[in-house]
Amino acid sequence: MIEIIPEWALTAADETQIAHLLTLCFGDNFDQRSYLRQRPHLRVIHRDQGQITAHIAILLRAVRLGPDMVDTAGLAEVCTHPNQRGQGLASRLLQTAIRHCRTSPAQFLTLFGTAPLYAGHGFAGHSNILTFVEMTNTHTTAITTEPAETLMVLPLRAQIWPATAPLDMLGPLF
């Protein structure tokens, strides 16, 4: 069963399950948290017999794209329990996230990743010059400006992503 849960509605049990799933999928970088850098606004989860088996975090943020402030939604912490992989769960969650983000004020849906799953759902890679707050664990370590290597973008409306405009995340990556 796929659910969309606002961050403020997460139960302690759900938060514990998500933290466990993220650690299982990504290692212990999460320090028993249910998010890596900052809390998302929404979670899209798949639950099987009471257990959370797949997860996507959605964050809404205004970023500076060239001279303009632009609302964007970002995807983070996309993962599926190793025993559940290959069943299309990540694809179903991604479809749900895209549909939900189309109802938001965001003009674009962005993520930092390279999985073929994303291109298969219409995301395109971009190499805009990117400025972001670099973080190690929960500590700010630097402000970095470099060409984006793993930025993928899906327009949510009629706007076209300006591929040559600098992108300032105005905070950490998603």
Domain at 11, CATH number: 3.40.630.30
> How many structural domains compose the chain?
1
Global pTM? 0.94
Residues 32 and 35: their CA atoms lie apart, in Å, by 9
SS3 4: strand
Residues 72 and 54: their CA atoms lie apart, in Å, by 23
Residues 164 and 129: their CA atoms lie apart, in Å, by 8
Closest CA to 115 of 164, 79, 160: 79
Domain of residue 72, residue span:
2-168
Write down the pLDDT at residue 31: 83
List pLDDT tens digits, range 72-102. 999 999 999 999 999 999 999 999 999 999 9
Any domain includes 16: yes
Any domain includes 173: no
pLDDT-flagged residues of the chain (< 70): none
Write down the pLDDT at residue 32: 86
Any domain includes 174: no
Residues 77 and 74: their CA atoms lie apart, in Å, by 10
